[in-house]
Structure 1
């Protein structure tokens, strides 16, 4: 390596609620010489971090401005309402936005859902973060509607959550700067999409093994040894020893 060369590395941003552990493990198995650094960012700042070169790729929440960013949608999350365990909502399996009409529903400034009409009654002030809103729910100030992964991330023993049937959903995507689709970005895309290490679209497929002679298997047909007949079994009649006679059946009187 010359003094001008830089050791390769990969920086991966991720927003709250996304757990990249599985993909990072596969990366470390396939590219052990390329360290991967995780960068936690908020959902709102993630696109700007990618544009500014603060990360090579990142998990973001859609929608985002894709003018200069590429994005591959990965999955859609269920939307839930976070409530105290003794709240009436905890007694049902699912609610609608209309069911929350008389409730105070908190809408933090870092909200990731896009509402046409926000459910419930607004609080006097909007909490700064989702984490702050969860604390207010625990204090009995109101309820909170979020993607399920955020409800799990900020789980408390005194709170629970239920699906909201007609709420907008949150989509998670892998995104990167459109003009910076490097080989390492392609490698990570392949990992996220489930491509094997030998995939035809992979950048560094495993070397093909040399083809050897296929060993004979127990069921393979072999050439008969010299001096031995390859005819039918003696029991079949035609392959029996020569000169053997079969008796004729007697006629019944």
Structure 2
């Protein structure tokens, strides 16, 4: 291994609220036990700046983002839900539509992660700074909140519940990293999130095992058929 191939001492991964990298972190620890994976939670609005400013080798973010000089691999899409008090009429249904929320007071936090102009219904002008603070306001009975399901679970409260919205924009989670990072550790993590096995390599076809050469069987000595008389040797005169 040359000096340029030496692995750095650790890999730093940023992730936004609601995203849980624990599964990938466990796989990393199994495959690269001597290279620590550092997890850094970062607000959604600061995730791209973190990876652009060398604060992380890669980040798990919610799309859309500014992809200038960044790669982004979409990983999965989340269900969108409406967070409501447990005694709200919405809880009578298993799922709702945006039209069902048309007459409701709605909260629209400044860190909203959904790709839309704003939620349906009567949006409250005073926008909470964060989703976490919007959850507190919803618990007080002042407005409903539309978020990705993982955020509803992250900020779970006993006095709140949520219902899926069938026709709302959905939140996609992606892995993003700088375009100029082609290092071995980055490739290792990409392989992990894409589900590659430990023995697989990117774009490589495993060589076929060599087959042992088989020796041709020795020719069998033919014996005379049964009952046949052997000729006597001729006498020399």
Q: Provide the residue aligned with 1:184 in structure 2.
A: 185
* Structure 2 CA distance for aligned equivalents of residues 199 and 42 of structure 1: 34
* Structure 1 CA distance for aligned equivalents of residues 145 and 130 of structure 2: 11
Note the residue ranges of structure 1 that are not aligned, 5 or more in a row.
Answer: 214-253
Give runs of ≥4 in structure 1 deviating > 6 Å. Answer: none
* Structure 2 CA distance for aligned equivalents of residues 202 and 174 of structure 1: 20
Q: Provide the residue aligned with 2:50 in structure 1.
A: 49
- Supply the RMSD in Å over aligned alpha carbons: 2.2
Q: How far 1:116 moved relative to its partner?
A: 4.0
* Structure 2 CA distance for aligned equivalents of residues 200 and 7 of structure 1: 20
1:175/1:148 Cα in 2 relative to 1: closer, same or farther (>3 Å)? same
Q: How far 1:201 moved relative to its partner?
A: 2.2
Per-residue CA distance 1:199-236 (angstroms, 9 max, x = gap): 03299x9xx9x99x9xxxxxxxxxxxxxxxxxxxxxxx
Q: How far 1:101 moved relative to its partner?
A: 1.1
1:117/1:156 Cα in 2 relative to 1: closer, same or farther (>3 Å)? closer
* Structure 1 CA distance for aligned equivalents of residues 118 and 17 of structure 2: 24
SS in 2 for 1:45: helix
> Which of 1 and 2 has higher RCO (CA within 8 Å, sep 6+)?
2
Q: TM-score, normalised by structure 1?
A: 0.76
Note the residue ranges of structure 2 that are not aligned, 5 or more in a row.
Answer: 1-5, 213-237
Q: Provide the residue aligned with 2:230 in structure 1.
A: none
Q: How far 1:181 moved relative to its partner?
A: 2.5
Q: How far 1:7 moved relative to its partner?
A: 5.0
* Structure 1 CA distance for aligned equivalents of residues 77 and 53 of structure 2: 27
1:99/1:6 Cα in 2 relative to 1: closer, same or farther (>3 Å)? closer
Preserved CA contact (<8 Å) 1:187 1:202: no
Q: Provide the residue aligned with 1:22 in structure 2.
A: 23
1:7/1:115 Cα in 2 relative to 1: closer, same or farther (>3 Å)? closer
Q: How far 1:34 moved relative to its partner?
A: 0.5
Q: How far 1:198 moved relative to its partner?
A: 0.4
Preserved CA contact (<8 Å) 2:119 2:146: no
